[in-house]
Amino acid sequence: MRTMQDLTNYNTFGVHATANSIRAFHNLEELKHLIKISKNQNFMVLGGGSNVLFTQNYSGVILKNAMKGIMVIGQTEEHVFVKVEAGENWHEFVLYAIQQGWCGIENLSLIPGTVGAAPMQNIGAYGVELEQVFEHLHALHIETGEMRRFSHAECNFAYRNSFFKQGGKGKYIITSVVFRLDLTPNFNTSYGAIESTLETWGVKELSLKIISDAVIYIRKSKLPDPAKLGNAGSFFKNPSIPQIKYQDLKERFPEMPAYELPNDEVKVPAAWLIEQAGWKGHRRGPIGVHAKQPLVLVNYGGGDGRKIKKLAEDIRLDILFKYDIDLEPEVNMI
Ligand SMILES: Cc1cc2nc3c(=O)[nH]c(=O)nc-3n(C[C@H](O)[C@H](O)[C@H](O)COP(=O)(O)OP(=O)(O)OC[C@H]3O[C@@H](n4cnc5c(N)ncnc54)[C@H](O)[C@@H]3O)c2cc1C
C-alpha cells in the first residue's frame, strides 16, 4: 500500500491534505526527469504554499521548487539585471537586493513565497507591483519539455493576474525570473501608512532599509503571521466595477470607498464590503474571518480546506446579494 504524504506543512493555511508523493527539484534536469516519471499521474508545482488552499487530497505528485541562485547578468549606468532562480525565497531576495543597494522591490518586503510564483499573480503591495521591475522570465513548457522566454508583454500582467493564471495556467513551470532594478533610489512612501510610520520613527533620511523596515513593521501589525495562525493573505481580490454602478451604490451606501481606475471603472476595497456585511471576526469552529483584517480567512488549527472554501463561497454570495458585486478569490483552490 502506498504511503500518502502529509501536506500540512507545505501550505501556509496549515490545512491537512495528502499527496501521493512530494518530490523536490533543484535544477532543470531534475525537474524534467520528475515530469517524465510522473507523466501518467497528476502533478503540480508548489513554491511556499502561501497562495493555495487544498480543498481535498491531491491525487498526484507535488513538485517542490528548490531551484536556487541569484546572478547579475547585466548592468547599465541606471540599472542592474538580476536573474533569480524560481525556488529562491521572495523576501530573502528582497533583503539581498537592499543589501546590494538595488532599488525597486523594498516595498514588497515580507511577502511570503518563492520568486517563481511571484509573476503568477503579479504580486503587489504598498503601491508597487512586480511588473514594474520585471524584465523577462524563463519557463518550461510541460507538454513539449521546451524552455521558453517570456517578455513583459507576453506575461500579460494585470492586477493580481498574468498569462500564467489565464491561458498559460497549468501549462508552464517558471524556472527563473530576470529583474531590472534601479541603481539610484526612487523611494515610494506615499502608499498606506509608510509615511506616518517613518514620521513616528523620526526618520530624517530615507534609505531602502528603512522603507523595508517600515513595510515589515506595518505588515506585522496588520496581517497574521502564518507561522502562528494559518492563512494565505488576502483571500479575495479588490473588485473593479464601472463608475456608473458605483454612483448607484454610493446613493445607497454613501460611505463606500473607491479608488478611480483609468478606464471609467473604480476599485472597491473588498475588506470594506466584507466588514460592512458583518463577516469580520466571524468564526466557524476552527476556521473564520480574521478579527482585524476581514480580507484574510484563517485556520485556528485543525481547519478543513473544504470548509474554508464553503466559508469563502458564503461570503461571496452574501456580498453579491447585498452589493451586486462578485468577489473573485485571489487564492488558488486545489
Ligand atoms: C501572510 C500573507 C501575506 C501575503 N501578502 C501578499 C501581498 O501583500 N501581495 C501579494 O501579491 N500576495 C500576497 N500573499 C500571497 C502570496 O504570498 C503570493 O501569491 C506568493 O507569490 C505565493 O508564492 P508561493 O511560492 O507560496 O506560491 P504557491 O502557493 O506555492 O503557489 C501558488 C500558485 O502558483 C503555482 N506556482 C508556484 N510556483 C510556480 C512556478 N515556479 N511555476 C508555475 N507555477 C507556479 C502553484 O501551482 C499555485 O497554483 C500573501 C500571503 C500570505 C500568507
Choose one of 65, 96, 112: the last residue of a domain. 65
From edge to edge, which strands make up the β-sheet containing 172-182? 70-75, 79-85, 172-182, 134-141, 147-151
**Domain with 139 in it: what CATH number?**
3.30.465.10
Q: What is the mean pLDDT of each run of 10 residues along the chain (334 residues)?
A: 86 97 96 90 95 96 97 97 98 98 97 98 96 98 95 97 95 98 93 92 95 96 95 97 95 94 93 97 97 96 96 98 96 96
Same domain, 92 and 170: yes
User: What distances in angstroms separate CA 210 from CA 61, 63, 108, one per listed residue?
Assistant: 42, 36, 13
State yes or no: is 330 an active-site residue: yes
Same domain, 173 and 74: yes
Dihedral class, residue 175 (left if φ above 0, else alpha if ψ from -120 to 50, else beta): alpha
**Would residue 220 count as lying in a domain?**
no
Cβ of 278: how many Cβ atoms within 10 Å?
12
State yes or no: is 284 an active-site residue: no
256 lines ligand 1 (CB under 6 A): no
What is the pLDDT, as a whole number, of residue 202?
A: 95
**Would residue 95 count as lying in a domain?**
yes
Is residue 175 within 8 Å of residue 63, measured between CB atoms? Answer: no
Same domain, 169 and 78: yes
**Would residue 130 count as lying in a domain?**
yes
Of 174, 205, 184, nearest to 88 by C-alpha is: 174
Same domain, 14 and 50: yes
Q: How far is the CA of 171 from the centre of ligand 1 (A)?
A: 17
Choose one of 46, 65, 84: the last residue of a domain. 65
Which residue among 85, 111, 228 is best mutated to probe the pocket of ligand 1, counting the most ligand atoms within 8 A of its Cβ?
Answer: 111
Q: Give the whole-angstrom CA distance, residue 83 versus residue 71.
A: 5
298 lines ligand 1 (CB under 6 A): no
Q: Which domain holds residue 276?
A: 230-333
Residue of 106, 109, 234, 265 marked catalytic = 234
Q: Which residues pair with 180 in a beta bridge?
A: 81
What is the pLDDT, as a whole number, of residue 247?
A: 95
**Would residue 197 count as lying in a domain?**
no
What is the pLDDT, as a whole number, of residue 263?
A: 86
Same domain, 105 and 135: yes
Atom of ligand 1 minimally distant from the CA of 52: 29
Helix H or strand E segment including 284:
strand 283-284
What is the pLDDT, as a whole number, of residue 144?
A: 93
Query: What is the number of domains present in the chain?
Result: 3
Same domain, 55 and 127: no
Cell of 86: 524560481
What are the phi and psi torsion angles at 37 (to 5°)? -80, -10
**Would residue 270 count as lying in a domain?**
yes
What are the phi and psi torsion angles at 20 (to 5°)? -60, -40
Same domain, 82 and 174: yes
Is residue 150 within 8 Å of residue 137, measured between CB atoms? Answer: yes
**Would residue 224 count as lying in a domain?**
no
Same domain, 133 and 39: no
Residue labelled with grid coordinates 537586493? 97
The pTM is what? 0.95
Q: How far is the CA of 125 from the centre of ligand 1 (A)?
A: 13
Instruction: Label residue 313 exposed, middle or buried (CB < 10 Å: 0-12, 13-18, 19+).
Output: exposed
State yes or no: is 23 an active-site residue: no
Residue of 50, 88, 129, 160 marked catalytic = 160
**Domain with 29 in it: what CATH number?**
3.30.43.10
Choose one of 32, 65, 98: the last residue of a domain. 65
